[in-house]
Amino acid sequence: MVTPGGINAAAGPFMDDLARASRRARTLDGGSMDAIGILEKEHEDAKEAMHAIFASKPGDKKRLFSALKRDLELHDRIEEQVFDPMVEAHLKTAGFQARDKQAHEDVEAALARLDALAIDDKDWAPSFLAMQALLLRHVADEEVNIFGAVRKHVSAGALEALGQQMRAAKAEQHKTA
């Protein structure tokens, strides 16, 4: 069963705990996060934003949703421009990449549908929950399948350098937005 705050009652909290522990382990020395850590952090931020939207008053929903949509679109652009080419270069993951691209397109379409609806439309809440389910399924697939494979085949130094590229690309996108 999909809930507002997680994938399901059993797996959601467990996966969230794993992601947080993984990020903490990479940043205990005060260093910056590698590429996967950045993506995992943004996933966690999106989960928190979705929970805040679900729990918010109608007057706040549109503003919070607009911020989530903007953040997800930026996350997607950076992932496609910087992270995905590295994955394709280092792994034989054509199946992962096709599935990941389709998941991104499905979430983008769900976000566009939501953006077109008024917050007080009777279809907004069910559409939001459907988008959330798509996004959480995509996040779980990335974190369990893709990120694990990348960590096995790409050095920590390469992932750190990729993280720096992602931060630079994100800063550049913020300048042009």
Average pLDDT over residues 111-137: 96
Helix axes 156-176, 58-78, angle to 10 degrees: 130
Unique residue bearing structure tokens 């992602």: 166
The Cα 54–Cα 40 span in angstroms is 21
Question: Would you kindly state where each structural domain of the chain is located, as residue ranges?
Answer: 11-176
Is 48's pLDDT higher than 90?
yes
Angle made by CA atoms 131, 73, 149, in degrees to the nearest 5 = 80
Of 10, 123, 139, nearest in space to 79 by CA: 139
Indicate the pTM of the whole model: 0.79
Where is pLDDT greater, at 15 or 139? 139
Is 27's pLDDT higher than 80?
no
**Residue 6 DSSP SS3:** strand
- Per-residue pLDDT at 86: 85
- Per-residue pLDDT at 101: 82
Is 30's pLDDT higher than 70?
no
Q: DSSP of 9-47, one letter per residue?
A: TTHHHHHHHHHHHHHHHHHTTSPPP-HHHHHHHHHHHHH
Is 18's pLDDT higher than 80?
no
What does the DSSP 8-state code read for residue 117?
S
Average pLDDT along the chain? 82
CA 120 to chain centre: 26
- 105: tokens are 């397109």
- Per-residue pLDDT at 92: 67
Q: What is the pLDDT of residues 146-168, one digit of tens each?
A: 898 889 888 999 999 999 999 99
CA 92 to chain centre: 22
The Cα 71–Cα 63 span in angstroms is 12
Average pLDDT over residues 33-61: 95
Tell me what percent of the residues of the chain surpass a pLDDT of 90: 56
